[in-house]
Amino acid sequence: MCGIIACIGRTDTVDRVVEGLENLEYRGYDSAGIAVRNDDGVAVDKHAGKISELKHSIVDELPDGTIGIGHTRWSTHGPPTDANAHPHTGETGDVAVVHNGIIENYDTLRDELTAEGRTFTSDTDTEVVPHLIEKHLEDTDDVETAFRRAVDELDGSYAIVAVAADSDTVYAARQDSPLVVGYGDGCHYLASDVPAFLEHTDQVSFLEDGDVAAVTDETVDITDADGESVSRERETVDWNAEETVKGQYEHFMLKEIDSQPNAISNTLQGRIDGDDVVLEEFPEGTFADVSAVQFVACGTSYHAGLYAARLLNKLDVPATAHRASEYASGDIPVSADTLAVAVTQSGETADTLAALRLAQEKGAQTTTVTNVVGSTAAREVETPLYIRAGPEIGVAATKTFSSQVVTLSLLAERVAEDSPVGTVRSDRAAFLDALQRIPEQIDEVLERSTAEHVCRSHVHDDAYFFIGQGTACPVAKEGALKFKEITYEHAEGFAAGELKHGPLALVTPDTVVFAMFTGGDRDTKTLNNAKEVQARGADIVAVAPEGVDLDECTDEVLRVPSTHPDLTSLLTNVQLQLVSYHAANLLNREIDKPRNLAKSVTVE
Ligand code: M6R
């Protein structure tokens, strides 16, 4: 939530900062702004609205300069107005600051600064920072000292980047909010996420909590919370810059749906050898003392956790999935033989990080299944397991869900094999073989899907329900989440058998129910549940593998190729992604940037 980009050392800095903001817009998109520092001082231009709408006016308003900082905002303190947009300045306008996170003691600081006669012009917590830097600059000429003193007064979470008129160094600080340094050709970048500058460099260092960085066009000096000089490993990011641009696609979401065969092939690369699961990160025996697994996650990642819990339960390992925000309340029993797995695409979701930390405090073994190398979750566990899906820009998670489920399927096999309570699948060879065929089968779904046609018949219905049993149940919930997230229509996902215990009262002839089948032994029951809603006048759209007999009871069918019943729901989910996408497109919604949402939610 909120994106930061700084570019230091280029004559086309403003263009690079604008480009970076566009690449980061998925992190927040209610207002944006840029500050440029040159020999005349600091100039700021900022407005409410999306960067795509503002970029020309911002570029026209700003002078030339080789140092620029920019911000795209997702509001936490104060509504999206010009005044609340970042960068924020202090009394003199000589210091400009962008910030991601929440400054918890801003009320107290603001009162103190106001009592000293300083005037505030926004509702944000961030505005205290430039005022504090300016205040300390009254006692010292050294901008770094003033910046550090200001940062020392802050409580809460922050990634902060500041420029000052009297300095050609950009200062940055990180606490519980990501910040990465990019090493370009004769220039440096600072950003909250790598896609901001990936077109220009894949060489990065991730700052750690407490770090302060002083960055010029030639140097990057990092000191830790004690002021000691530290070096942060320089890494090469294994992401392709082409994945951060839409190319011929109208929306990132469709591009990312279409890229799933490739993403899953990357996820699987080198991880299956005949009947063996090969996880470099977790060799055989790693989980010998695990007898229960808890997945902690939010949103789509929670649904991937639900899916994985079902797979593990089938392999006799007690496993549960928990909404991270609830888990963090601390009531779930944990012991030393519990493996807690934080499932998080971004690795930065605050609720998930809180749950992970709680599991660690309570003595659980922990890992994370994440997409982002160097993310907070990845750095807070001993060994992260990467899903290797490549950058996902659309706010709606698509390819990362598929790659999470595939990664978790492999992890489940390894845990069941190692754990004293687990059982190795009797059909393991067939399961792993089926897993390796998923990319080509997704290709088939993408080529043949009639989801758009189905959407045309139902786009003006009153409500959309999704039902399924077993692994189809988490995918029913995921289908509904995706649908409501990008269409803004009322959608709910239920365990198929639950419908008759209440939700059936909502069903009318203007409701459509998507019923998911797996090719497994629960399909007859799902069919009966579908008939119950059909009897109340609702239309049924089945999503079912080839060959599953639907007894002619459904109104329409979206077919998926036949596979192992434990994996069918991965294919089903692709049909549901297309249903949501086409429905949102027909309704003319902002598909990649749905209202009120942001890709990465870094506040609890
Ligand atoms: O980065 P994370 O996987 O931790 O994000 C968790 C949720 O915020 C995320 O999955 C959200 O539900 C999706 N954008 C929905 O499409």
- Which of the listed residues 193, 296, 301, 580 should we mutate to test ligand 1's pocket, taking the one with most ligand atoms within 8 A of CB? 301
**414 within a domain of the structure (yes/no):** yes
What is the domain-level CATH number for residue 337? 3.40.50.10490
Angle ∠(438,440,444) on CA atoms, nearest 5: 105
Last residue of a domain, one of 392, 422, 448: 448
Residue 591 within a domain: no
Are the CB atoms for 23 and 42 separated by under 8 Å?
no
Output the pLDDT for position 252. 95
Count how many domains the chain has.
Answer: 3
Q: How is residue 587 written in tokens?
A: 């309704």
From the first residue on, what is the mean pLDDT of each consecutive set of 10 residues in the chain (604 residues)?
Answer: 92 93 84 94 92 81 93 81 93 95 94 96 95 96 96 95 96 94 96 93 95 97 93 91 89 97 97 96 97 98 98 98 92 94 95 96 97 91 97 95 98 98 96 98 97 94 94 97 96 92 89 94 89 89 92 86 97 98 96 86 74
Amino acid at 293: V
Q: How far apart are CA 75 and CA 108, in angstroms?
A: 20
Residues 334 and 464 in one domain: no
266 and 410 assigned to the same domain: yes
- Residue 300 sits in the same domain as residue 361: yes
Q: What is the distance between the alpha carbons of residues 359 and 334, in angstroms, rounded to a whole number?
A: 7
Q: What span, in angstroms and rounded, lies between the C-alpha atoms of 196 and 207? A: 16
Do 415 and 509 belong to one domain?
no
State the amino acid at position 203 in one-letter form: Q
The CATH number of the domain where 122 resides is what? 3.60.20.10
Residue 57 sits in the same domain as residue 32: yes
Same domain, residue pair 277 and 194: no
| pLDDT score recorded for residue 389 | 96
Instruction: Identify whether residues 35 and 166 lie together within a single domain.
Output: yes
In sequence order, which ranges of 295-427 are alpha helices (DSSP H)? 299-314, 324-327, 350-361, 376-380, 399-418
Q: How much distance in Å is there from the Cα of 232 to the middle of ligand 1?
A: 28
Ligand 1 binding pocket includes 395 (Cβ within 6 Å): yes
Residues 72 and 161 in one domain: yes
Please give the number of the atom of ligand 1 that sits closest to the Cα of 352.
4
Judge whether 2 counts as a catalytic residue: yes
* Residue 421, pLDDT score: 98
H, E, C per residue of 191-236? ECCHHHCCCCCCEEEECCCCCEEEECCCCEEEECCCCCEECCCCEE
**Spatial CA neighbour of 380 closest among 350, 359, 357:** 357
- 591 sits in the region (left: phi over 0; alpha: psi -120 to 50; else beta) called alpha
What is the pLDDT, as a whole number, of residue 310? 97
Residues 355, 285 share a domain: yes
Smallest CA-to-CA distance from 1 within 466, 353, 349 is with 349
Structure tokens at 272: 């299956």
Residue 298 falls in the annotated catalytic set: no
Query: CB of 376 closer than 6 A to ligand 1?
Result: no
Give the C-alpha distances (Å, rounded to integers) separating 209 from 103, 196, 254, 343, 446.
15, 21, 36, 21, 43
Neighbour order of strands in the sheet with 170-175: 88-89, 95-103, 156-164, 170-175, 212-215, 220-223, 229-230
**Secondary structure class of 148 (helix, strand, coil):** helix
Domain check: are 340 and 274 in the same one? yes
The answer to whether the Cα torsion of 271, 273, 277, 283 is positive or negative is negative
Task: Based on the fold, state whether residues 272 and 232 are members of the same structural domain.
Answer: no
Amino acid 238: pLDDT:
86
Catalytic residue among 2, 187, 298, 473: 2
> Ligand 1 test: best mutation among 252, 298, 486, 602, most atoms within 8 Å of CB?
298
DSSP 258-325: HTHHHHHHHHHTT-EETTEE--TTS-TTTTTT--EEEEEE-HHHHHHHHHHHHHHHHTT--EEEEEHH
403 lies in some domain: yes
DSSP 439-457: HHHHHHHHHH--HHHHHHH
Residue 426 lies in a domain: yes
The parent domain of residue 163 ranges over: 3-237
Radius of gyration for the chain, computed over Cα atoms and rounded to the nearest angstrom? 25
Q: Is residue 17 part of a domain?
A: yes
Both tokens of 305, joined, read 């956790």
Closest C-alpha among 21, 9, 25 to residue 58: 21
Distance between CA atoms of 499 and 220, rounded to whole angstroms?
58
Do 179 and 76 share a structural domain?
yes
